[in-house]
Structure 1
Amino acid sequence: MPLVKIALRSGKPTEFVRSVSRSVHRAMVETINVPEADEFQIITENSAAELVYHPTFLGIQRTDDIVIVQIYLGVGRTIEQKQTLYARMVEVLKDDPGIAPADVFINLVETPIENWSLGNGLTTFVR
């Protein structure tokens, strides 16, 4: 049930954006038990003025290829699962479409199950 927001610099080729989308979803499927068909993403391409980041915060060397991934998901993953997700996502994005690990910024936002309606106006996971 995750909802994923991906922000990146505008001007990237369509295939690059699609590859980011596929890679982010693949990492979630492989590491945090997200079903293959559970794919909901909002992807924004932003101008330099609209995507603000510090290029060296915490000693990490970021570039204009930065990709910010925010994942809204239900509560319940362990710290180990989250760490595995972060590592796998960086690995997959490095392989395809070729994003440097330093340019991958990930944030998880956990919300209770009653805060989700995936359609038909129903609280999908509340019985």
Structure 2
Amino acid sequence: MPFIRVSYREDQYKQEELPAISHAIHQALTEHFRVPADDYFQVFHGHKPGEYYYDPAYLKVTRTDRLLYIQITLKSGRTEEQKRGFYARLAELLPACGVRAEDLFVVLVGTEFEDWTFGNGIAQMLERKREEAQRDA
């Protein structure tokens, strides 16, 4: 149930590049966090150069204007190993999309089941959790 926001400088990426980046992110999510293939919710935001700031060498990583900020809101509880594997997999997949590993800035934001609705004013993940508990009882 992740929700992904990707921010980039609009003068650095072409619209044709974004679908491949999106699919690479989703592939890494399915591989390392076992996200279902149809759990696919992403938003890309292009920014003008004057709206986009970063340090080009923070923590000895050399960044360029092709830096991608990737914020992933997802259910908390992933292990450190899963997170490290996910970051590494993104760094493997995205160069094929023209994104240098050094230009990846990823933030994971953990939430709980009650923090989500996927429509109709229903907390679907709480309903699913309740159904699973009743089945297991």
How far 1:121 sits from its partner (Å)? 0.7
The match for 1:106 is 106
Structure 2: runs of 5 or more not aligned: 131-137
Structure 1: runs of 5 or more not aligned: none
How far 1:58 sits from its partner (Å)? 0.9
1:125 aligned partner, one-letter code: M
1:107 aligned partner, one-letter code: V
The match for 2:135 is none
Greater Rg over alpha carbons, structure: 2
- Structure 1 runs of 4+ off > 2 angstroms? none
1:52 aligned partner, one-letter code: Y
Cα distance in structure 1, aligned partners of 2:16 and 2:36: 23
The match for 1:2 is 2
Q: TM-score, normalised by structure 2?
A: 0.88
Instruction: Give RMSD over aligned pairs.
Output: 0.9
Contact 1:56–1:62, Cα closer than 8 Å, also in 2? yes
The match for 1:44 is 45
Cα distance in structure 1, aligned partners of 2:124 and 2:77: 17
Which of the pair is proportionally richer in helix?
2
The match for 1:22 is 23
Q: TM-score, normalised by structure 1?
A: 0.95
